[in-house]
Structure 1
Amino acid sequence: MLKSYLKTAFRFLLKNKTFSFINIFGLATGTLCCLYILLYVQDQYSYDKQHNSVKNIYRLTTDLVLSGDKHHSATSSPPIAPALKKDFPEVQNVTRVVEVDKLGAKEHLLRYKEKSFYESEAYLVDSTFFDMFNYNFVEGHATHALDDPYSVVLLKTTADKLFGSENAVGKMININDAYGKHDFKVTGVVDESLGKSHLHANMFITMKSSSTGVSIANDNEWAGNNFLFTYVKLRPGADPKTLEKKLPAFLLKYASQKLKQLGMQKELHLQPVTSIHTTAGFDIEPTKTANPSFLLILVLIAVLIQVIACINFMNLSTARASKRAKEVGVRKVVGAGKYDLIKQFLGESFILSFIGVIIALPLLWIVLPYFNDITHADIRLSFFADYRLWLILTALIVVTGLVAGSYPAFYLSAFEAIKVIKGNFNSRISAIGIRKILVIIQFVVSIVMITCIIIIYSQLSFIKNKDLGFDKNQKVIFNFYTDDAQKQMPALANDLRQIAGVKAVNSADNYLSQFVMHDHGVYPAGGNMATAIDAQNIASDQYFIKAYGIKLLSGRDFIPGDSNKVIINTTLAKRLNLNAQTAPGARLYSQFGNGPLTFVTVVGVMNDFNYNSLHDAVRPFMVEYDGNAGDMSSIIVSTNSKDYKALLTQIGAIWHKDLPSVPFEYSFMDSEVQKQYETEITLSNIINSFTIIAILISCLGLFGLAAFSAEQRNKEIGIRKVLGASVSGLVSLLSKDFLILVGVSFVIATPMAWYGMSKWLEAFAYRISLSWWMFALAGVMAVLIAVLTVSTQAIRAALANPVKSLKTE
């Protein structure tokens, strides 16, 4: 019986080549996209699953309310971790991690004998780090790897660059960065073969190293200094919710007085470590996370593309039912039951689905680099090593086979044998209605995706062209990562100012578009820290305003010698209840911990500018004068030169003179600003690519239905031509029904797209307004696509010789 079913299925496929091609190609293309997206999403959710007792590992997060501003932070204060272990017996272990790249030491010069290079992504960690987190030790052992001061564990790629094929453990290397120059002993080499982690680093340095690490480890600030990541491992059976309920009393025990002094509200929460990579919304993260809404959109796209491919199968199978009606009748007469026929047609659907997957796999292998490029991922196909890939493939075959074949199977198996054999078969009205509904679903999906492209592109264009309040163009950025290099910055900055075409050279501890790490509360005369406004700040020399082209609303720019002077933005002035015009001259006070009361004097008020991405509204901000360029980490060169090649050649010559041992590396401000929107750009690229594929699959189905419709009406067309119908009239006749379906699709798709994109735009503090033309353009594009698809078959039918279709009448 099975052999008979298979033989019949393959005969039908070979006899109806166009039908088979459309179905197999559609299923293969849909499966290709669906498989990649599922692999990508599965990869994003696979982070941190490799750690022992991972269900008991949590990260401590902090919710802060300071001066009315809410902060949702993945970091916490240094003394909390040891106190947790001391006060709560359910806490088995704790460890702390400091991402030094965000604390000023962005790059680290590694040196071993004659080899030296810069490396980023270094963490200062407690000695208990490898007791909690599992990394594969290629060399050395996790136990006691970070017990001794000045110990370092290297990622294998970093160790290979330093030592080549030599063993690394036991060797001494020198690490030179903004914290100074020190010798470290390599105690281990790890790789990430056990699985990906949100804590990806090239170097794990013990917290006991240098005065910086020691001061962090011994820091006793409970309210402020929320800059390190704290992890706790609970004992088996301990309930994290019960522990979390105890944390408010725990915090008040140690920090109530300081919180009251600062006017701060603080809450601690436990976050499962396995959810970190797929949770968004925290102020600071060690690595880039995957927004769960973004992943949900991807899964939705995968499902919709696969559904479109299944719809093609259902439509063409029911449309061509008359071709198989007599086969069904004969099988029923010789004893086949309804469920035998259902199994036969479902089996054919599974065969097509299986063929689609078999074709999709090599295609996926070919296009994998392209897909990885648009998603910025590193998905690899390991067919025999990863059982999850086989589970996904099996699930795709089964689900696709059932979805695509269920309706045709039940529809075809329901034919009445006697009527079919007598030739009384007519396509059922119900089947025609179902086909129309399925075509509408296809074009609803296509129109929604086209609308998304238009709106996302419009928002990105708005972001690109919006006046940020500062000039991001023609700015060259140079970063300085070592103490030695920073000492040469004043000489380099002075030399750069002599180059023709250079308007200004600014030295600062940060540059605009980068996360501002420093903030503290300030208040005017008559206030206190309980009423202070939290202001982000950077330190800069006197060229900040000139370099960025920022407008001063009142007061003056910095001048040399402006010790303890600041320029504030209008948002900070308003929050401090200062008049922007009269604010210059006002003193702003602050106090940190038990330290002395300090103050700065406002010398100018600048217009607000978007120093961070347009996802967030402008926050209180100030620039503090620091005339010592050797304390800075960045130089921003503002230029009006149009010949960048010549300019960079000149800068390079000066660089090699002043910094002969430092690599000449630079970036451009407009590119750095653009990097803030990588998620949106990635989403745009993904939707662009998969929308084209969805439209291609929809058009294949529409092409098949149009061809079938023309075939069914060939005698009608012949009679109309004989009676004088024009080609344009016949094309209009054959296309009208399909265009009506596209029109209905547009009516359904528009509110869906409007709702979805309105929600997406809510993530931006500055955004476009949705306009009618965006939806109308999507509708027009859908109509044009449908017309081009259907008209090819309609024109072909209209131009056919009527004699051929009428000669048997």
Structure 2
Amino acid sequence: MLKNYIKTALRGLRKNIGFTAINILGLSVGLATCLLIVFYVIDELSYDQFNKKADRIVRVNFELKFGGNNSIYAQTMAPLAQVLKAEFPDVENTVRMQARGGVRVKKDNENIQENMMIYSDPGLFDIFTLPMINGNPATALVEPNSVVITESTAKKYFNSTNVVGKTLLFNDKDNYKITGVIKDIPKQSHFNYDFFLSMSSFPESRQTTWLSNNFNTYVLLKPGADYKKLNAQLPALLRRHVNTELQSMVHLTMDEFEKAGNYFRLNLTPLSDIHLHSDRIGELGRNGSIQYVYILSAIALFILLIACVNFMNLSTARSSNRAREVGVRKVLGSARSSLVAQFLTESVLVTFLSTLIAVVLAWLMLPFFNQMANKELAITSQSFIWLLPVIVTISLGIGCLAGFYPAFFLSAFQPVDVLKGKLATGFKGGRLRSFLVVFQFSISIILIIGTLVIYNQLNYIQHKNLGYDRNQVLIVKNTGALGNQAKIFKQEIKQLPGVVNATMSGYLPTADDRNTSALFQDPTLDQKRGILPQIWSVDEDYINTLGIKLISGRNFSEQLLTDSSSMIINETAARLLGLTSPLNKSIYRPMDSSGKNIRKFNIIGVIKDFNFSSLRDNISPVTLFLEEDRGALSIRVHAQNVSTLLAQIENKWKSLVPNQHFVYSFMDQDFEATYRSEERVGKIFVVFTSLAIAIACLGLFGLAAYAAEQRTKEIGIRKVLGADVAVIVTMLTKDFIKLVFISIIISSPLAWFFMHKWLQGFAYRVNFQWWIVLLAGAGAILIAFLTISFQSIKSALANPVKSLKSE
């Protein structure tokens, strides 16, 4: 019986090859797109799941509010890890990690700049699943100057993984003994370092202060322990240990500190939540965003719904032409159950073929999608473990859903009514199809509006006045490798033709170097007159090189020795300090947590606020100090031939440090990297919105062809009676255009709600413009009209004799 159903179904599909092709193509593209996004979402949700103890690992975070400025950190104070392990029975182990930053590693006669280095406590390998190829994980990070490296790093420097006991030379002075080699860390990890240095090699790790937070602290809970219980105990722990230092430094108890509106807080984040739910200062890597996972999941669902709506629309439309077939088969004795089974078989067969084609399309499109989304997704044998059940479920689910209406609707009619044509008359209303057309065009318009809003916001970010000039600024990295020759290098670079100015500092608006410290307006360190700003070490050329506007006062001068005790603040710092005339005011900076070592600085200038973090955040206070920092050399250029100037700078570099790699970037590129995730989502939005519209238009094209076919004789009569092409095209298109107008009315407020919510994530953003809705609506109408008019014009130009000759 089933064989007969399939044979009959294939015959029917071949007979209506046009509708079949549209159905299969639309559903295949929709399912392929959905599969690609499913791969992406699964990859994002799988971060850190390779850790066998992932469900028991949490990270401790620190939050601080002081002087009107809130700061949230992924880092905590040095002694916290040991205290947690000693005082809380639910804690099995702890580990601290602290990023080392750039280091020059000796290989033969050259120095290779390595940036993926981090200090770690010995508990690292007990908490995280980092399989060790060689070495003892229990003791690998115990001794000072020991290092564990990844497999690929070992092969990079020694062409072998059997390197335990060998040494690596850092910065031409520090020898580190290799005590272990681990497998490369999976890409789906919120940290991915190549060198793990023993924490005992880092002097600051022995700090006992609770008012400094520089360590990423992770806790392994005992089986069955609830992290929320530990989280509830942290406030008392923090109060107990911070209170003494706070009294010593600012002569306040925690109660008095909090009464003024300030606070210290500790809280926990489960390991599995870090990648998608954490965006704090001091993250160990660039995390993703759960918001974009939701957005892309919604797009996948929308496209799948549009494809399914197409399939249902065309299936129900085509089924009305088979009413007489149903009537004849019932007269000849076919049972209703047989007719239902026949319709469902055809529907499931089409969806099964579409799903197979979708898998092939997804595989073919995967490299392009990887490039667009910056992923390394692949369809492997493991993928088929969940992919095969999905294919079967989709085929049966969509097939039965789409075939349900024609199967049960048509099979319920009496043969006499069907053969007299009464069914055709009642079927022309097409309310279900109208509803489905409105539904899919509503989704398409929401996607169009979303794409326009995202690109409008990205365009705003690219062209917003940030308070500094990022264009034509070349950044030479790792100038600390120059040692005492760094100043010589800077002065030589400034003499080159095409160089406007140069400044040496690692504290740049587009860099990751950040430092905060409390400042006060009086030597008693009164918290009511204090702030917690960024503390940046710069030179006298910093402001001019970066094009930062000096509002009042003067710049630093190397000729004035007193400037070593001077500072320049931004507008926000002046506002939070409550200073209407900040020039020549004294500011006091505690140099440690004792409250005794205090330095006095005079404000000599005020600069205009500039954005030095994501535009998702408000500008925070910044203070500049005249201190040497060799983190990077920023060079403002105006040369037309930048490549020639770049070669000259590199030659200067190599003349001073011939064995050190020359590494550089451009500030505008570094800025754009901050918003790369938004750019990727914008591109994905454009591509998938285009696909959604294309799929919707396929369905609309099929329905237009069906409508024209149903009204062939009416069109012929109208032409005989003198109707021109324009009248007939209008007659065939107006009903569909009405549906698009209804879609615009429904989708516009929904799109406004969702995109307004997305824009709230930016402190600096565009307003939702009315023209976006107008443009999206006009675009949808135009696309729908072009799709329908092709078939309408074809029908209007047909010879009426052919359509009427049978009457």
Partner in structure 1 of residue 189 of structure 2: 197
CA distance in 2, matches of 1:340, 1:66: 76
Is 1:153–1:187's contact at 8 Å kept on the other side of the alignment? yes
**5+ residue gaps in structure 2?**
251-256
- Residue 471 in structure 1 maps to residue 459 in structure 2: no
**Letter of the structure 2 residue corresponding to residue 185 of structure 1:** I
CA distance in 2, matches of 1:289, 1:2: 52
Question: What CA deviation, in whole Å up to 9, does each residue of 1:736-794 have, x standing for no partner?
Answer: 11111111111111111111111111111111112211110111111110111011100
Q: Secondary structure at the match of 1:192?
A: coil
Matching residue's letter, 2:26: G
Per the TM alignment, residue 243 of structure 1 is displaced from its structure 2 partner at its CA by 2.0
User: 1:578: which partner in 2?
Assistant: 579
Give the 3 Å change call, closer, same or farther, for CA 70–718 of structure 1 in structure 2.
same
What SS does the aligned partner of 2:264 have?
A: strand
**Separation in structure 1 between the aligned mates of residue 427 and residue 524 of structure 2, nearest angstrom:** 79
Aligned CA distance change for structure 1 residues 145 and 579 (closer, same or farther; 3 Å): same
Q: Distance between the aligned counterparts of 1:664 and 1:24, measured in 2?
A: 55
Deviations 1:124-167 (A, max 9, x none): 11001001110233444533322232222222222221122462
1:660 is aligned to 658
Deviates more, 1:538-547 or 1:319-328: 319-328
User: Contact 1:173–1:186 at 8 Å: present in 2 too?
Assistant: no
- Three-state SS of the structure 2 residue aligned to 1:460 is helix
Distance in 2 separating the partners of 1:427 and 1:313: 23
CA shift digits 1:502-558 (9 cap, x unpaired): 111101132112234201111113762523201012111100111011111111100
- Once the two structures are superposed, the pairs formed by residues 119-134 of structure 1 within 5 Å of their partners are 119-134=114-129
Partner of 2:58: 58
1:409 Cα shift? 3.6
Offset of residue 228 of structure 1? 1.6
Which string of whole-angstrom CA distances, capped at 9 and with x for unpartnered residues, describes residues 180-231 of structure 1? 63333242232236x732121111221122xxx1322x11121x32222111
Alpha carbons 1:221, 1:593 under 8 Å: kept: yes
Q: 1:236 — aligned with what?
A: 223
Structure 2 residue aligned with 1:625: 626
Aligned to 1:220: 208
Corresponding residue SS for 1:636: strand
Change (3 A) 1:793 1:544: same
* Structure 2 equivalent of residue 181 of structure 1: 174
Letter in 2 for 1:512: P
Aligned to 1:349, the other structure's residue is in SS state helix
1:545 to 538, 543, 546: 543
2:505 is matched with which residue?
508
Distance in 2, matches of 1:296 and 1:806, equals: 54
CA distance in 2, matches of 1:717, 1:205: 82
Residue of structure 1 equivalent to 2:200: 208
- The AA in structure 2 aligned to 1:611 is F
Q: Which amino acid aligns with 2:207?
A: D
Q: Distance in 2 between matches of 1:662 and 1:200?
A: 24
Give, as a single letter, the amino acid of the residue that structure 2 aligns with 1:506.
Answer: T
Task: Please list, as runs of the form range in 1=range in 2, the aligned pairs for 1:691-770 lying within 5 A after superposition.
Answer: 691-770=689-768
Partner of 1:49: 49
8 Å contact kept, 2:48–2:188: yes
SS in structure 2 opposite 1:517? coil
Mark the CA change 1:267 to 1:586 in structure 2 (over 3 Å): closer, same or farther: closer
Partner of 1:520: 517
Displacement of 1:653 in angstroms is 2.3
Partner of residue 162, structure 1 = 157
Quote the offset at 1:586 in angstroms. Answer: 3.0
Question: Residue 118 of structure 2 contacts residue 197 of structure 2 at CA under 8 Å; is this kept in 1?
Answer: yes
Alignment match of 1:146 (pick from 123, 126, 141):
141
Question: Per-residue displacement from partner, 1:368-423 (whole Å, max 9, x unpaired)?
Answer: 11111111111111034662344444444344334444434433443333322444
Identical residues among aligned pairs (%): 37
The equivalent residue for 1:567 is 568
- The whole-number CA distance in structure 2 between the counterparts of 1:192 and 1:416 is 68
Q: 1:281 to 1:633 in 2, by over 3 A?
A: closer
Displacement, 1:696? Answer: 0.7
**Distance (Å, rounded) in 2 between the aligned partners of 1:799 and 1:95:** 78
AA aligned to 2:183 is V
Amino acid at match of 2:436: L
Residue aligned with 1:584, SS? coil
What CA distance in whole angstroms lies between the structure 1 residues aligned with 2:792 and 2:389? 43
Query: 2: distance between equivalents of 1:90 and 1:440?
Result: 56
State the TM-score, normalized to the length of structure 1: 0.94
Note if contact 2:135-2:179 (Cα within 8 Å) is conserved in structure 1: no
Partners of 1:494 and 1:88 lie apart in 2 by: 56
Shift of residue 672, structure 1, vs aligned partner: 1.1
* Structure 1 pair 388–46 and aligned structure 2 pair: CA distance change class (3 A): farther
CA drift of 1:248 comes to: 1.5
Is 1:347–2:340 an aligned residue pair?
Answer: no
- Range 656-665 or range 787-796, more displaced: 656-665
1:79-103 Cα offsets, whole Å, 9 max, x none, are: 1110011111111111111122xxx
Question: 2:253 maps to what in 1?
Answer: none
Query: In 2, are the aligned partners of 1:540 and 1:623 still within 8 Å (CA)?
Result: yes
Q: Distance in 1 between matches of 2:601 and 2:175?
A: 35
What secondary structure does 2:276 align onto?
Answer: coil
Q: 1:303 aligns with which of 301, 318, 334?
A: 301
- Hey, what does 1:32 align to over in structure 2? 32
Partner secondary structure for residue 437 of structure 1: helix
What CA distance in whole angstroms lies between the structure 1 residues aligned with 2:686 and 2:694?
12
Please point out which of 209, 219, 240 is paired with 1:253.
Answer: 240
Query: Does the C-alpha gap of structure 1 residues 306 and 597 become closer, same or farther in structure 2, counting only changes over 3 Å?
Result: same
Q: How does 1:333-372 map to 2 (within 5 A)?
A: 333=331, 337-372=335-370
Counterpart in the other structure of 1:68: 68
- SS of structure 1 residue aligned to 2:564: coil
Question: Pick from 263, 266, 277: which aligns with 2:264?
Answer: 266
- Counterpart CA distance in 2 for 1:480 and 1:317 is 65
Q: Kindly provide the CA deviation profile for residues 217-270 of structure 1, in whole angstroms up to 9, marking residues without a partner as x.
A: x11121x32222111111122222222222211222211233465645222222
What is the CA distance between 1:17 and its match in structure 2? 0.9
Please say if residues 134 and 161 of structure 2, whose CA atoms lie closer than 8 Å, have aligned partners that are also in contact: no
The residue type paired with residue 78 of structure 2 is P
RMSD: 2.1
Residue type of the alignment partner of 2:129: N
Structure 1 counterpart of 2:484: 487
Contact map agreement 2:149 2:178 (CA 8 A) in 1: no
- Taking the TM superposition and a 5 Å limit, the aligned residue runs for 1:262-411 are 263=257, 264-333=262-331, 337-384=335-382, 387-411=385-409
CA–CA distance in structure 2, aligned partners of residues 466 and 405 of structure 1: 53
- Paired residues in the alignment total 791
2:776 aligns with: 778
TM-score (norm. length: structure 2)? 0.94
Question: What SS class does the counterpart of residue 193 from structure 2 fall into?
Answer: coil
Change in CA separation of 1:782 and 1:505 when aligned onto 2, cut-off 3 Å: same
Residue pair 2:565, 2:602 contacting (<8 A) in 1 also = yes
**2-structure distance, mates of 1:517, 1:306:** 45
Q: CA separation in 1, counterparts of 2:391 and 2:599?
A: 65
Structure 1: how far apart are the matches of 2:430 and 2:583?
75
Partner SS state of residue 525, structure 1: coil
Q: Work out whether residues 148 and 180 of structure 2, in 8 Å CA contact, stay in contact via their aligned partners in 1.
A: yes
Letter in 2 for 1:473: N
Unaligned runs of 5+ in 1: none
Contact kept in structure 2, 1:90 and 1:238, CA below 8 Å:
yes
CA distance in 1 between partners of 2:311 and 2:384 (Å): 31
Give CA-to-partner distance per residue, 1:647-683, whole Å, 9 cap, x none.
2122222222223222222111111111111121111
1:287 partner SS: coil
Cα contact 1:516–1:536 (8 A) shared by 2 = no
Letter in 1 for 2:240: K
